[in-house]
RNA sequence: GGGGGGAUACCAAAGCGGUCAAAUGGGGCAGACUGUAAAUCUGUUGACUUAUGUCUUCGCAGGUUCGAAUCCUGCUCCCCCCA
């Protein structure tokens, strides 16, 4: 058995761990789980740490289990509205669950003898009534114990609802159920989950005198103090319809040097030696950003695929590389299309192309690109306007003569302020 | 209740009868440099058929004047001091 705990340790992925976990996992092929909230139809990169935990777990010869919180998800968000909510929710939850499962399939092996699997706690909570729950579960955990948890303590001042207070029991029971029925011995989670996980361990001990383990990962932070995983456009999702492969790739490319050295351990499966080598090479020629490239490539390829990675890379080189007009003329249509997911787009009706240059770029595009003709003229005077990678120095450019694939135009204000124009 | 000060463009702040579309700084945008970084330097920063032209803009509403951000009257809001 490969040493799972050791693997996580050098990657900086352990925040808290119960005693003798390492020893247990070295001697037993075991099952472990993490709970995920099905409230969104996609995972985002904030979930990636947890996913990677399971990836390493499986690679070390254990069985990863993904718990989709169909039941807990319903409790978690009581802010519904209409009467039919329950039905809608159920459909939506199943839909979300399927989408999330297919995202896990990219990371984990769902076949073989330590195959990954997905469970939903709705299965065991559906027919579990309140009285039964109180008798069989609530009885064993004291309020004193529950109150001692940081997650609860921190909320006592500001207020905590009974529902949220109970959450640790529900989650604890999940662990117990999986322990009992699926031979799950360990639960993983973010550091904020420590308390909830321990409630599960406690429940297992009290109900059956059983042994179980817990391991949490640290909260990922950025060196500049900002939140990891957020961009101006919000979350970075794994679903390509919510975050395009290009934007996903770019997120990793733009990580700072300092963060990249930490992230490459956390988010890739590269070995310690490979990573050490990358860091040495990176520090020799930091401008090449070797680590960021390695990081972006590996993760983008797993989450999307090789082809989409390549398109994202080509798109990036169009937007940021030393890219000349000639190169632009030879671009594949696929890459051109991908530009529409990379930069803000503006559509324009084909008959508007009859207007003069300045009118097209202001009025005909609802002043989205240039707020006024003066601004446009100023931009040209400052040598700041390019179309299709070609600097524009005069105002009698004919747009309709320069469309790519008869409908696309890449407009550039300055170096990195792009607008993609689609004629329809 | 009494006395004093203020309201200017994205923000801060000068201007106190024509030369004011309004100094200066910050921010924004662009150029050079660069690692799709940081710093620095340069240009630019109300709109319009780019014009030593017109229009809109200096809290709001009126007025004086050939001419007002600038003077007068009223109003609204802010700050400070004394009770």
A235 lies in the same domain as A198: no
Protein-to-nucleotide distance from the CA of A356 to the C1' of B71, whole angstroms: 49
Protein-to-nucleotide distance from the CA of A376 to the C1' of B62, whole angstroms: 40
A10 lies in the same domain as A44: yes
8 Å CB contact between A336 and A404: yes
Residue A345: pLDDT over 70: yes
Using C1' positions and the CA of A359, the closest nucleotide is B49
User: Alpha carbon A34 to chain centroid distance?
Assistant: 16
Mean pLDDT (whole number) for A236-249: 93
Other C-beta atoms within 10 Å of A146: how many?
19
Percent of chain A at pLDDT > 90 equals 54
- Within a domain: residue A315? yes
A197 lies in the same domain as A76: yes
Protein-to-nucleotide distance from the CA of A414 to the C1' of B22, whole angstroms: 29
Instruction: Select from A188, A217, A246 the last residue of a domain.
Output: A217
A416 lies in the same domain as A310: no
Task: Look at residues A282, A307, A301, A302 and name the one whose alpha carbon lies nearest to residue A292.
Answer: A282
- Report in angstroms the alpha-carbon separations of A91 from A78, A84, A85: 17, 11, 10
A372 lies in the same domain as A293: no
Using C1' positions and the CA of A285, the closest nucleotide is B35
Q: What is the pLDDT of residue A312?
A: 94
Quote the domain boundaries for residue A281: 230-324
Query: In which band, very low, low, confident or very high, does the pLDDT at A83 lie, cut at 50, 70 and 90?
Result: very low
Residue A85: pLDDT over 60: no
A104 lies in the same domain as A34: yes
Strand B nucleotides where any atom sits below 7 Å of a protein CB: 29-37, 43-51
Give the mean pLDDT of chain A: 88
Residue A11: pLDDT over 90: yes
Other C-beta atoms within 10 Å of A32: how many?
24
* Positions 261-300 in A, CB within 7 angstroms of strand B: 286-287, 289, 292
A10 lies in the same domain as A120: yes
Pair type for strands A184-190 and A31-36: parallel
Mean pLDDT (whole number) for A339-367: 90
Protein-to-nucleotide distance from the CA of A396 to the C1' of B47, whole angstroms: 22
Using C1' positions and the CA of A249, the closest nucleotide is B36
Query: In which band, very low, low, confident or very high, does the pLDDT at A417 lie, cut at 50, 70 and 90?
Result: confident
8 Å CB contact between A152 and A183: no
8 Å CB contact between A252 and A346: no
The per-residue pLDDT for range A218-241, each reduced to its tens digit, is: 988 888 777 788 777 778 999 999
Residue whose CA lies closest to nucleotide B49 C1': A373
Query: In which band, very low, low, confident or very high, does the pLDDT at A74 lie, cut at 50, 70 and 90?
Result: low
Domain count, chain A: 3
- Within a domain: residue A332? no
Q: What is the pLDDT of residue A75?
A: 60
Percent of chain A at pLDDT > 70 equals 96
Q: Coil, strand or helix: which one is A264?
A: helix
Residue A348: pLDDT over 80: yes
- Within a domain: residue A223? no
Q: What is the pLDDT of residue A226?
A: 74
More confident residue, A154 or A371: A371
Using C1' positions and the CA of A321, the closest nucleotide is B36
Residue owning tokens 């082809």: A307
CATH number at residue A144: 3.40.50.620
Residue A77: pLDDT over 60: no
Report helix, strand and coil shares of chain A as percent, to nearest 5: 55, 15, 30
The per-residue pLDDT for range A128-172, each reduced to its tens digit, is: 888 989 988 888 888 888 888 877 777 777 777 787 788 888 889
Task: Look at residues A233, A251, A271, A234 and name the one whose alpha carbon lies nearest to residue A6.
Answer: A271
- Within a domain: residue A139? yes
- Report in angstroms the alpha-carbon separations of A176 from A50, A72, A213, A375: 20, 15, 12, 65
Protein-to-nucleotide distance from the CA of A374 to the C1' of B71, whole angstroms: 36
Least confident of A23-32, A83-92, A238-247: A83-92
A14 lies in the same domain as A162: yes
A374 Cβ nearer than 7 Å to chain B strand = yes
Report the distance separating Cα A323 and Cα A314, nearest Å.
10
CATH number at residue A290: 1.10.240.10
8 Å CB contact between A380 and A392: yes
The secondary structure element, H or E, covering residue A163 is helix A162-182
Instruction: Select from A324, A357, A373 the last residue of a domain.
Output: A324
A273 lies in the same domain as A130: no
Instruction: Select from A297, A324, A351 the last residue of a domain.
Output: A324
Protein-to-nucleotide distance from the CA of A391 to the C1' of B39, whole angstroms: 28
Residue A213 tokens, joined: 């383990």
φ, ψ (nearest 5 deg) of residue A175: -60, -45
A161 lies in the same domain as A15: yes
A149 lies in the same domain as A15: yes
- Within a domain: residue A225? no
CATH number at residue A383: 3.10.290.10
Q: What is the pLDDT of residue A43?
A: 93
A279 lies in the same domain as A395: no
Other C-beta atoms within 10 Å of A237: how many?
23
- Within a domain: residue A338? no
Q: What is the layout of strands, in order, in the sheet containing A385-387?
A: A345-348, A417-423, A408-413, A385-387, A390-391
8 Å CB contact between A212 and A25: no
- Within a domain: residue A253? yes
- Within a domain: residue A64? yes
8 Å CB contact between A53 and A194: no
């Amino acid at each position: 058995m490969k040493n799972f705990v050791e693997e996580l340790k050098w990657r900086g992925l352990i925040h808290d761990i119960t005693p003798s976990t390492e020893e247990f996992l070295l001697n037993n092929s075991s099952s472990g789980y993490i709970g995920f909230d099905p409230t969104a139809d996609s995972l985002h990169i904030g979930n990636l740490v947890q996913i990677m935990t399971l990836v390493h777990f499986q690679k070390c010869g254990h069985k990863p289990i993904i718990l989709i919180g169909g039941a807990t998800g319903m409790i978690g968000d009581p802010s519904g509205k209409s009467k039919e909510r329950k039905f809608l929710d159920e459909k939506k939850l199943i839909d979300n669950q399927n989408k999330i499962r297919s995202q896990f399939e990219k990371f984990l092996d769902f076949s073989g003898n330590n195959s990954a699997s997905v469970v939903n706690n709705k299965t065991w909570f559906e027919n579990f009534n309140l009285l039964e729950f109180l008798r069989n579960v609530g009885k064993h955990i004291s309020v004193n114990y529950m109150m001692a948890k940081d997650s609860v303590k921190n909320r006592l001042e500001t207020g905590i609802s009974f529902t949220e207070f109970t959450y640790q029991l529900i989650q604890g029971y999940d662990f117990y159920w999986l322990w009992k029925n699926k031979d799950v011995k360990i639960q993983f989670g973010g550091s904020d989950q420590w308390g909830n996980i321990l409630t599960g361990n406690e429940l297992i001990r009290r109900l059956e005198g059983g042994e179980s383990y817990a391991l949490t990962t640290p909260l990922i932070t950025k060196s500049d103090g900002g939140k990891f995983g957020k961009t101006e456009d919000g979350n970075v999702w794994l679903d390509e319809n919510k975050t395009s492969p290009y934007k996903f790739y770019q997120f990793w490319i733009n990580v700072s040097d300092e963060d990249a050295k930490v992230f490459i351990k956390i988010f890739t499966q590269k070995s310690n030696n490979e990573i050490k080598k990358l860091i040495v090479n990176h520090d020799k020629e930091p401008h090449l950003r070797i680590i960021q490239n390695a990081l972006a490539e590996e993760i983008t390829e797993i989450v999307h695929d090789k082809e989409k990675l390549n398109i994202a890379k080509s798109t990036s080189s169009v937007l940021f590389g030393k890219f000349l007009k000639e190169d632009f003329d030879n671009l594949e249509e696929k890459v051109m299309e991908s530009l529409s997911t990379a930069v803000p787009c503006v559509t324009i009706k084909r008959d508007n192309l009859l207007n003069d240059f300045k009118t097209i770029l202001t009025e005909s595009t609802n002043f989205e690109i240039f707020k006024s003709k003066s601004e446009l003229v100023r931009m040209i005077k400052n040598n700041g306007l390019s179309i299709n990678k070609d600097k524009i120095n005069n105002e009698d450019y004919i747009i309709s003569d320069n469309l790519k694939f008869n409908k696309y135009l890449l407009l550039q204000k300055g170096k990195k302020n792009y607008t993609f124009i689609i004629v329809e």
